[in-house]
Amino acid sequence: MYFCYADESGDGGLYDAKMPEKTGSPYLIYAAVIIRDIQWKQSLNILKNFRKKIAREGYLDYDKEFHCAEMIDVHKKMLYASISVPDRWKLIEGFGHTIGMQTDFKVLDKRKSKLEPVDYTTAIVTRLYQAYDHFLGAKKEHGIVFFDRANEKKISTHVRKLLGTGVSEQSSGVAPMTWILEDPIYKVSADSMFIQSADVTAYTFKEQEFPQPSRKKYDADLIFKRKLLKSCYHSPFSDDDGIIRV
């Protein structure tokens, strides 16, 4: 069996380039870290050892959440304010290097998408499930999905349509999933290093796709390519790099 831990960067709301400060982000990105059951404990220990190391070095206490957006924009949470900006990016790159697992990325560029905002989240979750089901089918094993606790009701309702488990028997309009089991499970990101790993992968991919000039001096836009690109799973829905663009 495989476990898939997914987290997002950005939001599912409307983006208006004319009012960027008053609307949502120009992107919605989901990243997933996929782990086989027999490797779960070993993978967790690798992540725990990285967190213990940076705690010993005085960067971030072991019991504190590693959350990229808040780490870079420290006005949101002063927990990370004592860490210098270059060191924050080094920590994110170090976490990316530590992950070293199968990863899967979905990106929706609102500036180019023809979808309505109400469909952003469901469209990207559909592609994530299709790619994961394809992955599981190739392995001939079943799997389950874990999400961060955001958009829980909307995602669960849609996933039940994808899996055919909803009481209304409504169809999603896509081929039924064969290998994914049960409704998604939701976890508080602060309690799951694997969800935090998905956060790091989504955030570094966001920096590559939507770079900010002020961050390039820290190589923020290169972390994904250096540390995570080689781990992307190539499904029938992805481009040559293994990225699914909705």
Render 34-99 in DSSP notation, one character per residue: EEEGGGHHHHHHHHHHHHHHHHHTTSS-TTS---HHHHHSGGG-GGGTTS-HHHHHHHHHHHHHHH
Stretch 174-197: mean pLDDT: 92
Stretch 110-138: mean pLDDT: 90
- Superfamily of domain 2-245 in CATH is Ribonuclease H-like superfamily/Ribonuclease H (3.30.420.10)
Contacts of 44 (CB under 8 A, 6+ apart): 193, 194
Q: What is the H or E stretch that residue 145 is in?
A: strand 143-148
Q: What percent of the chain has pLDDT over 70?
A: 93
Place 109 in a pLDDT band, splitting at 50, 70 and 90.
confident
Stretch 34-46: mean pLDDT: 92
Mean pLDDT of the chain: 89
Place 41 in a pLDDT band, splitting at 50, 70 and 90.
very high
Q: Which two tokens stand for residue 153?
A: 């009701």
Evaluated on CA atoms 28, 246, 101, 45, the torsion sign reads positive
CB atoms within 10 A of CB 34: 24
pLDDT at 102 over 60: no
Residue spans of the domains in the chain: they are 2-245
Output the pLDDT for position 105.
Answer: 55
- Nearest 5 degrees, angle CA 190-CA 198-CA 19? 90
pLDDT tens figures, 156-165: 999 998 998 8
Q: What is the pTM of this model?
A: 0.91
Query: Helices in the chain by DSSP H: which ranges?
Result: 40-56, 68-72, 85-99, 120-139, 152-163, 193-209, 223-227
- Nearest 5 degrees, angle CA 239-CA 243-CA 246? 90
